[in-house]
């Protein structure tokens, strides 16, 4: 019901444990989906009893199973989360593969993938390409600082950076516009 971590645990060990726990969490969604598929295929008359015994919401398990069916084992990408796959599950297989490739190459978060899909659906391939190709070199210490600020603001880094830059741009543009209007002859 909990995780006991020893006092004085080195940061690297704590970090490694987090990666391992995250991997287990991601894998467990696949495992539960595959488990439900197996139960339905082999115990059609009794698998609902097994679902109740698992103690999970039926709809959650059905979602896991649906996604697991949409991605056979050989098509699942270990570098991507179950949720990445869930975002793509409703697409045709060939489109799924294109998006899986793109997501792996760009190291997109689930939210970035969702935004790219939305942009494409809105007919904005240029927005997808722009997001995929624009990069900003940022020193690690600044990136960590910005992550901390975003976390304290209760938002993801990308949202925080965009909002902060938008606010700065608006301020500069308004000041410039005000200065220009004051310089114009009356």
Average pLDDT of span 149-170: 84
Residue 59 has pLDDT above 80, yes or no: yes
Average pLDDT of span 105-116: 91
Residue 94 to residue 152: CA distance in whole angstroms: 40
- Given the structure tokens 């197996």, which residue do they identify? 38
Residue 30 has pLDDT above 90, yes or no: yes
Structure tokens of 57? Answer: 């919401």
Give 82-96 pLDDT, tens digit per residue: 999 999 999 999 999
Residues 6+ apart with CB under 8 A from 26: 81, 82
pLDDT score, position 132: 55
DSSP string across 29-47: HHHHHHHHHHHHHH-TTTH
Residue 118 to residue 132: CA distance in whole angstroms: 14
Give 134-150 pLDDT, tens digit per residue: 667 777 788 888 888 88
Residue 177 to residue 180: CA distance in whole angstroms: 5
């Amino acid at each position: 019901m909990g995780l006991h971590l020893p006092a004085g645990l080195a940061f690297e060990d704590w970090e490694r444990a987090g990666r391992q726990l995250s991997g287990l969490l991601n894998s467990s969604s696949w495992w539960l989906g595959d488990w439900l598929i197996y139960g339905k295929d082999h115990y059609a008359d009794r698998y609902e009893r097994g679902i109740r015994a698992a103690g999970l919401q039926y709809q959650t398990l059905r979602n896991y199973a649906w996604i697991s069916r949409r991605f056979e084992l050989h098509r699942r990408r270990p570098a991507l989360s179950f949720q990445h796959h869930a975002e793509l599950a409703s697409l045709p297989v060939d489109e799924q593969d294109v998006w899986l490739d793109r997501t792996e190459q760009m190291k997109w978060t689930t939210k970035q993938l969702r935004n790219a899909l939305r942009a494409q659906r809105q007919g904005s391939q240029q927005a997808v390409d722009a997001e995929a190709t624009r990069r900003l070199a940022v020193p690690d210490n600044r990136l960590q600082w910005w992550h901390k600020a975003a976390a304290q603001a209760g938002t993801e880094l990308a949202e925080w950076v965009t909002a902060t830059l938008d606010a700065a741009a608006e301020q500069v543009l308004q000041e410039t516009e005000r200065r220009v209007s004051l310089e114009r002859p009356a």
